A and B are shown apart, each in its own frame.
Chain A
């Protein structure tokens, strides 16, 4: 095929024309590109510059330092301890397993901790520091620091973690913190951004939980420059936030420690000590207890199982959560109701033949043979049941309940502890709404000796004795101040009760402890200026009366005691409940006396304060206490003994 010149010329001019068209199109497109550049980089540059700033600057929250919790004397109950830990950055470490093995040759790390760390390392980005082990000693950390050249990617680090220096003493009152859970988040409507911090610690129980908003503080922030992968390039500035407010409690640590240890000599018990004038709770003690620090670190399943399956219920704050039949400690309120209604006079006597007949049923006195003729004072002194069966029939349950409520029975006190119980102060309406049945006289008889439907907590019993002792409507108070601002004392006004009648009741309680026929005579205080008044109680758990030593622990009677001292000028009220401890006079009264004496002396009481016949037993008790690791007689002394 031969191409002619003409063809060629046609072709060339055609290619040239089309080339020019193409070039024109290309210039057009390039023009659009140039126009777009101008639009973005010149006209909208400021907008994009702003977006770029936002892009590269990121806010990181800083957890504020959690508020501290102190006792009334400024002894820390909850503090923020330095948590020495070892962290690893994968990308700096190179061969992670190699480095960790070398680390394990230097400091001990158990297998489970190691496994958890390896899992965490594999999940996180390579530049994120991952905690290998924490709660290390300073020695461990120094060892790691010294060997740093052999441990690429490993850094010793220090953070803050909650620590409870007094361990189990305040496990129930102060409670504990733990890492925020999904469940916690689901309960909060407007979550604090702090809660989004992984493993952020929040109060789970007790004061830690109830004062969470005060203790937590306000989040601080760091402005940091980050890259798209989230890696921190540098810090631009920092706002440290507002640390949480400190909370001071009314509790007294030496007394609390003594009470906890003293209760722990038994199996399961609770005690409350309250200042009669201010309502300050000096002690809210429970036995057995547990170490709240274990929960902060994340308790192991086996440890937790041990706590929940323990039949003595170490996790329960029995002092405020436990509702027990008050037994004979309720009798003061019944006789006071009778006095108030003018249905009883101080010298009047009731005959006790060992039982009362109601219809075809016999209501027994604890003393089978009967007490004979009893006046008010004797009825308390010897805890005669028949006397109170009579009073109950005279006064009626509604009037008894009305008076009992003035003394705190059936009242849910607003205290920053978990699950504070209201107990039950029954009356006719209560039974009807609860059971749909009418109130029976027999119910009144049972209630008159603190059995049947009546339930009260050790806290309520302490409030009751404090109000009997002072005649004031004193309210219990656990928090002394928040952030330095004192919480007011509530209820230092007289109760609407005849003072003369109260004096008769107090005198009866005095007889219980200080006359030789009194049920708590052996547990008296043998010092004229510190005389104690009180009342024993033994509440039945089951109806058939069998000797306590013959039945399993769960079926034994609860032993109770309430009291106050000094009799002449009351300062402290105390209540003790020993679960399934047997008789109140043998199991609860000595404990209450020991705790009261400690409160009055401010330290381990001298033997001279005890009756001479009791000193041998007391010495044994003290010796047993000295052996306990949780008892710290030498720790924190206002007055070194």
Chain B
């Protein structure tokens, strides 16, 4: 609604939109993806197969998708938010019904040419819908209890389904992604105070319910939390991942062992070295310098999103950009915290670096939307 109040004529049109792209952001994304290709090449023992090459192809496809989305005006995407959410929710229900079982959790749905993870799709769709919701909502009603409840329900529906899969990591990401959009939209501080109190209460409930018939989490989820709190208690059992990961990461030192010289990842001590734990390989081979550089680039991407949002006078565009940037931030922050032993192992990939089709495509779609918001942002008055 708000968009048409601005001077549409000042929005670039046609192929000239390319000039208004957030090119620095794109270059940062390419840098991160490039680091990912290098690491996948390294963990495969110096081979493009089986991971690096498909990953490159997917990134190329992702770039095409990103540009395509960026060319389409942002208001079109805003109108699509409800549809995207609906489809994602339907797919989430779909995996409950016909999903194939992978890693003990139903997360994938086979759509012929690739396996789709609807929870990934939902991460973007939820951000879009809540951003669109606050775009629509009268600014004065933002902190009205009824209008706070609506987005909470919108968040709760997919979270419930994802928890049921069960996928604790994604559920947390959805809650936080949606919550951040609400926070940026200006929901009163009072709610956040109440929420923090509720969060503390939930954690207490989760732990006190353990061992009782109505316990809230799966046993393996409790065990993951246990091993997070004390990985050395079971170094060859469930604490194995964290311990090995820390050894690899720590042994990297200042400058690392050198490209393709990481003994820990080379010798298979690292679990899932090409997916969730790929950061340890990078940290082992390129040391603190490499690991910190990657962190800096990630932070740079997030900062570019924030700057883009602040300079964007369109509520939907700004909120969505902030939401997607925050989701991206949560990905790498949780992943890095996990491999460094600061967070429990929850199965969150390192964005654009970990091997995996769904996550990469969804992120590129997300950045396509960010670019679209950036290109089509209202300028001046």
Contact = CB atoms under 8 A, between A and B. Distances in A.
Interface string A12-28: 10111011111100110
B303 A23 contact: yes
B370 to A, nearest CB: 14
Nearest to A43: B250
Task: Tell me which of B247, B254, B295, B302 has the highest count of chain A C-beta atoms within 10 A of its own C-beta.
Answer: B247
B186 A14 contact: yes
Interface in A259-298: none
B310 interface: yes
Contacts of A18: 183-186
A59 B279 CA distance: 29
A45 B291 contact: no
Contact of B254 (A12, A45, A55): A45
A15 B326 contact: no
Nearest to B187: A18
Nearest to A51: B247
B166 interface: no
A11 B315 contact: yes
Interface string B178-213: 001001111000000000000000000000000000
B65 interface: no
Interface in B296-327: 298-299, 302-303, 306, 309-310, 313, 315, 318-319, 322, 326
Interface string A21-52: 11100110110111011101110110111011
Interface stretch (A91-99, A105-113, A224-232, A540-548): A224-232
A1 interface: yes
Contacts of B318: 12, 15, 19
A227 B183 CA distance: 47
B340 interface: yes
A contact face: mostly helix, strand, loop, or mixed:
helix
B368 to A, nearest CB: 21
A227 B269 contact: yes
Interface string B261-293: 001101111100000000000010001100110
Given A19-B184, A41-B252, A30 B333 contact: yes
A37 B288 contact: yes
Which among B251, B252, B268, B310 has the highest number of chain A CB atoms within 10 Å? B251
Contacts of B1: 1, 3
Given A7-B140, A27-B299, A228 B340 contact: no
B118 to A, nearest CB: 27
A343 interface: no
Contacts of B303: 23
Contacts of B292: 34, 37-38
Given A1-B138, A30-B333, A48-B250, A37 B291 contact: yes
A33 B340 contact: yes
Contacts of B315: 11-12, 15
A229 B251 CA distance: 20
Contact of A19 (B246, B291, B309): B309
B269 A55 contact: yes
B283 A37 contact: yes
B269 to A, nearest CB: 4
A604 to B, nearest CB: 66
Interface in B201-259: 244, 246-254
Interface range, A side:
35 or more
Given A7-B139, A11-B186, A34-B292, A23 B306 contact: yes
Contacts of A231: 268
B251 A15 contact: no
Contacts of A27: 299
A8 B183 contact: no
Given A22-B183, A47-B250, A36 B342 contact: yes
Contact of A44 (B138, B250, B263, B322): B250
A310 interface: no
A310 B244 CA distance: 60
Contacts of A52: 247-248, 250-251, 263-264
B139 A3 contact: yes
B8 interface: no
A160 B80 CA distance: 75
A10 B186 CA distance: 10
Contacts of A32: 342
Interface in B5-20: 5
A3 B269 contact: no
Contacts of A10: 139
A26 B306 CA distance: 11
B149 interface: no
Nearest to B268: A227
A10 B246 CA distance: 47
A624 interface: no
Given A45-B250, A228-B269, A233-B267, A12 B313 contact: yes
A313 interface: no
A610 to B, nearest CB: 75
A56 interface: yes
B250 A56 contact: no
B336 interface: yes
B302 A41 contact: no
Given A22-B326, A37-B291, A56 B310 contact: no
Nearest to A226: B267
B64 interface: no
Which interface residue of A8, A29, A37, A47 has the most chain B CB atoms within 10 A?
A37
Nearest to A52: B251
B224 to A, nearest CB: 19
Contact of B283 (A26, A29, A41, A56): A41
Contacts of B252: 41, 45
B26 interface: no
A11 B288 CA distance: 41
A56 B250 CA distance: 15
B186 A40 contact: no
A10 B315 CA distance: 11
Given A7-B139, A226-B267, A49 B251 contact: yes
B30 interface: no
A48 B246 contact: yes
In the A-B complex, the 3 residue pairs with the smallest Cβ-Cβ separation, listed nearest first, are A48-B250, A227-B267, A52-B251
5 contacts: A12-B318, A15-B184, A18-B186, A36-B337, A51-B250
Interface of A: 1, 3, 7-8, 10-12, 14-16, 18-23, 26-27, 29-30, 32-34, 36-38, 40-42, 44-45, 47-49, 51-52, 55-56, 225-229, 231, 233
Given A23-B306, A55-B267, A227-B269, 10 more contacts: A14-B186, A21-B183, A22-B326, A26-B329, A33-B340, A34-B292, A34-B295, A41-B291, A48-B246, A231-B268
